[in-house]
Chain A
Amino acid sequence: MPVISFDAVTKVYPLPAGDVVALAGIDLAIEEGEFVLVMGPSGSGKSTLLNIMGSLDVPTTGEVTIAGRRIGGLGDDELTLMRRDHIGFIFQQFNLIPLLSVVENVEYPLILKGRRDTSRARAEEVLAAVGIPGSHFSHKPGELSGGQQQRVAIARALANDPDFLLCDEPTGNLDSKTGTAIMDLLDRMNREEGKTVVMVTHDPRMTEYADRTIRMVDGRLA
C-alpha cells in the first residue's frame, strides 16, 4: 500500500477576483522507500501539493490517503497528530526553535508524543546519526553553521520515526558543498534506513538522488 496516495485531488482557493485552482485533478501514489522529487515553475502547485501531503491542508475534492488514513474529513487536532506521528518536515530555512538547545529541538516532537522518559537518549542517537558532535548538543541553533542547523532539522524530522520525510528546498539556503552533504545524508537515510523522501526543489542536479521526478505545470502533473 502506498504511503501517500492522491486520487483526483483538486484544491481551489476562492478569492474575490475569482477562484484560483492550485491543484486540478492529481492522481499520485508514493510507495514506501521511494525518493521522489517534485519540480515545476513557481505557481505550478508544488507548495499546495506539499501542504496537503503534510496534512497542513486538505483537498477541495478527491481523496488523499496518508499512512493508510484519509485526511479529507479530519479535524485540526487529528491533522496535527497525523503530522506529529507520521510526517517529518524539513524546511529551506531550517526553522529550529531558537529558545531550545540543539538536543532539545530534537527532543521536542518526542515530548509532544509523550515519550519524555526516552526522549533525551533518542534525540542524542538521531543527532549522532546525522553527524552532529556531542559537544554541540547543548548549543543554541544560532551558534551552529547553516549545514549543521539543517542536520539538526533532519534529526528533528527523524526523531519520531515518521513514515516519510517532506523536504521543502532543503538545500536552498546552503552553499553547494554543504548542500551536497545534506543531500548525501538524505540519500543515506533513504537507502540505508528505508525512509521515504518527498522533496520539492528547483535544482535539476537533485534528480540524480531521486527514484522518480514529478513535474508540475498549472496544478497538473506534466
Chain B
Amino acid sequence: MTFFDLARRNVSRHWLRSVLAVIGIAIGVVAIATLGIMGNSIGLMFNDMVSDVGDTIIVSPATRSGTTELTERQVNDITRAVGSNRAIPFATTFDTVTVGEAKSGAMIYAIPARDIPFLLEMEAGAYPKDTGSGCVIGKKLAENSKDTGLKLGARATIGNETLRVVGVLEERGMGFDINPDYAIIVPYSWYSRHYDKDKYDQVIVKVRDVNDLDAVKEAIEQKMNRREDVVNVMDTRGILKEVFAAAESITVFLMGIGAVSLIVAGVSILNVMLMSVTERIKEIGVLRSIGTRRSEVMRMFIYEALILGVVGAVIGGVLSFGTGYAITAVFAGNPDYLFNPTSLLYIVFGMAFGVATSAASGLYPAWKAANLNPIQALRHE
C-alpha cells in the first residue's frame, strides 16, 4: 500500500464522478489534438501543392508603378540581370475556346515556345513551336473536357483562329507562378499576333542553385529598382513562409478553441477534487494525527488528480487517432497527413496538456487538504 494506492482507491470509490471528470479531460484532449491536426493538415496540404516551385523567383510590375505589364525591354533587362539562370516571361488572358460545337471559357498562358520545356513537363504529345499553330493543354482541363472534345489532336478555335492541341501537360498542382492544370498554353508569338500585344504580365526566373536565390533577387533589384520601384521581386520560399505562418496561426487559433474545452474539463477536476477534500476533512485529520506529513497528504491528492488526468489523456489520445483520421480524410482528402510526425505531435501535445491541466487543477485542493488544521479536521462531522 502506498499513497498512490490510496489515491487510486479514492478515485474508484467515487467512480461515477471520476468517470465524468475523465470524460471531460478526454473530450478536451480530442478537441485540442483534432483541431491541431486539422490546422497542421492545411499546412501540409499547401506544402504538397507548392513544394516543386521552391527554386522560383517571380518578377511582376510594382503596384506603385501604375502599370500592370512588363515591356520587352524590361524583360530583356531582367534576363541580363539573372545571368545564366532562365528568365521566362509570360502573359495571361481568358477567352472562349470552341471545339466543334462546344464552347467553354479557359485560362490562356502565353509563353515563348523556347521556354515552355523549362517550365512544364509533357505527358503526351509535343511542345508547341513558334512557327506552327499548336497549343498544349493542362491535364485537368483535358480530363474535364471529354464532353467538349478538347483533347490531344483536337482543333480548338480561339477568336477567329484555330489551334491544334499538340500535347497534354503533366499534372503540376497549384503553384505561385502559373497554374497550368486547367489552362491552355500557347506560344507567345501566336498570342502577340492574335491579340496584338507586346507586353508581359510576369517573369518567372528558374534559379539553378537554390543557394543563389538571394543573390539573383538582389541582382534583379539592382538592375530594375535602382531609382524607383519598377518591379516586385518575390521568391516562392518567402511566399511559402507566409503561407505556413498563416497555417500556423490557424492551427494556434483552432487549438485555442480546443484548449478552452480542456480548461473547462480542468475546472471539473478542480470541482471533483474540492468535493473530495471537503468529504474527507475528518479522514485527513486522522491521517495527520497519526503521523502523515503535509507533503504526504498533498502528494496523495495530486496523485488523484493525475490519475484522472492520465486516464483521460490516454483515452483522449486514442480517440484523437480516430477523429484525426476522419478529419484528414474528409477535410484534407489525405489520411496520410495524420501519420506525419508534425500531426502526431499534436496528439502528444494534447495529452500532455490534459495531464498538466489536471495536475494544475489538483494543486489547490491538495494544498487545501495538506494545510487543514488537524485538530479542527478531527472535530469535523
A160 CB contacts on chain B under 8 angstroms = 291
Q: In the bound complex, do residue A80 and residue B286 qualify as a contact, i.e. CB atoms below 8 Å apart?
A: no
Q: In the bound complex, do residue A80 and residue B291 qualify as a contact, i.e. CB atoms below 8 Å apart?
A: yes
Q: Which one of B13, B289, B293 lies within 8 Å of A54 (CB-CB)?
A: B289
Q: In the bound complex, do residue A77 and residue B291 qualify as a contact, i.e. CB atoms below 8 Å apart?
A: no
Main secondary structure of the interface of B (DSSP, over half): helix
Number of A positions contacting B (CB below 8 A): 27
- Mark contacts of B1-14 with chain A using CB atoms, 8 A cut-off: 1 yes-contact digit, 0 otherwise: 11000100110010
A3 vs B295: C-alpha distance when bound (angstroms) = 28
Q: Which one of A51, A80, A84, A98 lies within 8 Å of B375 (CB-CB)?
A: A51
A81 CB contacts on chain B under 8 angstroms = 291, 293
Q: In the bound complex, do residue B1 and residue A83 qualify as a contact, i.e. CB atoms below 8 Å apart?
A: no
Q: Does B139 count as interface, using CB distance less than 8 angstroms?
A: no
Q: In the bound complex, do residue B293 and residue A99 qualify as a contact, i.e. CB atoms below 8 Å apart?
A: no
Q: Does B378 count as interface, using CB distance less than 8 angstroms?
A: yes
Q: Which one of B13, B290, B296 lies within 8 Å of A83 (CB-CB)?
A: B290
Q: Which one of B13, B291, B378 lies within 8 Å of A99 (CB-CB)?
A: B13
Q: In the bound complex, do residue B294 and residue A76 qualify as a contact, i.e. CB atoms below 8 Å apart?
A: yes
Q: In the bound complex, do residue B294 and residue A84 qualify as a contact, i.e. CB atoms below 8 Å apart?
A: no
A160 vs B374: C-alpha distance when bound (angstroms) = 20
Q: In the bound complex, do residue B1 and residue A111 qualify as a contact, i.e. CB atoms below 8 Å apart?
A: yes
Q: Which of A100-126 contact B (CB under 8 A)?
A: 100, 104, 107-109, 111-113
Q: In the bound complex, do residue B288 and residue A91 qualify as a contact, i.e. CB atoms below 8 Å apart?
A: no
- Mark contacts of A75-98 with chain B using CB atoms, 8 A cut-off: 1 yes-contact digit, 0 otherwise: 011001101110001010001011
A51 vs B374: C-alpha distance when bound (angstroms) = 10
Q: Does A156 count as interface, using CB distance less than 8 angstroms?
A: yes
Q: In the bound complex, do residue A89 and residue B289 qualify as a contact, i.e. CB atoms below 8 Å apart?
A: yes
Q: In the bound complex, do residue B290 and residue A57 qualify as a contact, i.e. CB atoms below 8 Å apart?
A: no
A113 CB contacts on chain B under 8 angstroms = 291
B291 CB contacts on chain A under 8 angstroms = 80-81, 83-85, 109, 112-113, 160
A104 vs B2: C-alpha distance when bound (angstroms) = 10
Question: Can you list 11 A-B pairs with a CB-CB distance of less than 8 A?
Answer: A54-B289, A56-B289, A56-B378, A57-B375, A76-B294, A77-B293, A80-B288, A83-B291, A97-B287, A99-B10, A112-B292
Q: Which residues of A contact B (CB under 8 A)?
A: 51, 54, 56-57, 76-77, 80-81, 83-85, 89, 91, 95, 97-100, 104, 107-109, 111-113, 156, 160
Q: Which residues of B contact A (CB under 8 A)?
A: 1-2, 6, 9-10, 13, 282-283, 286-296, 374-375, 378
Q: Which 7 A-B pairs have the closest CB atoms?
A: A84-B291, A95-B286, A99-B9, A83-B291, A80-B293, A112-B291, A56-B375
